[in-house]
A and B are shown apart, each in its own frame.
Chain A
């Protein structure tokens, strides 16, 4: 109990100190672009607790969820099979490397062109951007499976499908998980940017609209909300990962 409190204090004092600092030095600010944090906080409460949540936050998160849960599983399946075949890897690697070099957000205009400015184009953009980090991690994870483990699988006559999904993928799970995490972060970025480019609602649209109409305090509340959401996603991801990969942490002797 005590150590839990200590851990909380260690990881939060800096944030608290910086907030306090921001609060203090902005308190009497007359600058139009740097309003007092107190004002931002008040406006934040009005905007996000919870008046605009249904209108601007929920649709964004829905797009992210749909895009992520289409893009990432596809990447897992495609990556797992590409990882098995050296020839397939050679054929597809120029393509994969070309597309992954394009920042996910740069694809947004293309999908807006193809699918219009509705949610479809945003979901597709997110799914495509999310695809590559997981794909690359999965290929590598499957490709580098332990030879001894594969000998064992063969000696027990596992089919190649069984050894892929029962041996290669689980043993590569730590690497795949890193890919999934990067995908989530990329998906989050694309979610916001896709809304900044011609959406009528959503957090990204809200923030950029506030900025363009000189509602600077609103803009600040949007940015802070984005930060909080991104942070929460990461925390949730790491909690799930910690549980799912308990064996890995245990094997490596990691305690935190």
Chain B
């Protein structure tokens, strides 16, 4: 029974009316993977390769063929080490992209060593990788290669299923199962059948994806535009929230991912600026990177500077900003449209709906809302070299694993393999954990409460609370409307209101299972937002303007902050503690510039 399909959602009259009516499904497995995305699929394949007898279960919120951030497809693999370059070169480039770090060079290096093999797996599995006229892999930038990745997600999912993983579709993870300080499984809500799924496992890999929808998006103000963001809006930070609530250490959440995206319809821009060498220009037609950021590297400036540059133009009165695609030849334009169709198909529809031909009119660009994504920037769990978090038995891979930026698709795949090996090593000699009924009962109470309040209950809808949080984060914790800037007082204000929201969880109400899932997602968002604000508060400097801008500490402070900012929430008291960990340079050379 590998890919277990969900059925139609229960009708209102079929919903459980009391906690006693909630059915519990117990599943015993060796390895539990929370989230069957890019990283999760590779965990499954690698685990079954290590031992074909191992029982692997995937708890999947969507349906694995089209779930998560890769559901629409992908147009490039952003990192694949070319001939003549080494893993050390890639780490050096990655370090310069994040302004010299700090970053976890141990993790980055181990990932880089695994990277090409993981990308080759994808090609062997059927992913079309574009070739040049000599039959060699076609590079569109220094490290990134072009693919026709419309089928990327089904290709990965099919391999996870073929490898023998049992995929439980439409089960949304909510909380970890613990035995003392050790993680021994996880629980989730069946969003179609309403059952509580309890997975007991010897080891768990948390690969739920990152956190979008913590901040308000600038289009989230009218009809049908609430999820008009670049990051998959169904990745809400549940993985971070689950670990954080049980005391797992989070790292570097203040290094948010803010990207330059196409304006009004949030599509990728590297596709055009890197892939097709289209310069970024302002309203006067000035080439921004060359004319205003030459001293920081121009087009090769660190990623956060490139991301922040167009928004600075707006701030200083020189918007709109564009990627100048004018004059592209027809063949190149056709290729560019195919790239969009592979990753963000509706952008092509958007251009058609504007009656716009990018060969004649440049494509407008703008900053995105901020995301927490350990596969792009560094926010995620503090992990050891085996990708185990500070909770024994809980591993992280992909967006959930922190400290190691610029992973993208290939790096998340590679990290899935590394985490699978770590988990496999960890579970040797481990007995099947006993089920703690009390913990299950407590989690049931927590996650089903919004469904049990009764039709007349005067409460708060999951959407109302989500929108309150998004507005709060946008205005006080450095969202797009504030040009990503914040200060101590605003962050204190945000924390005060996050505490109020946490206290108001008891008013959340859900009329059906879909809303119950959303209620749980919103609680996860609030908890992750709490961690984000503590991280932003603790870094009293500005290291990565745009990603992390402190208006009250506008300079970089290497004396105090050339290190990692960490947080831990006490599972008993709920108190959050922030502290630092030192940075260690492993790959020698200039930290701030990539020479290649």
**Is the A/B pair a real complex?**
no
- Which B residues lie at the A interface, using CB under 8 A? none
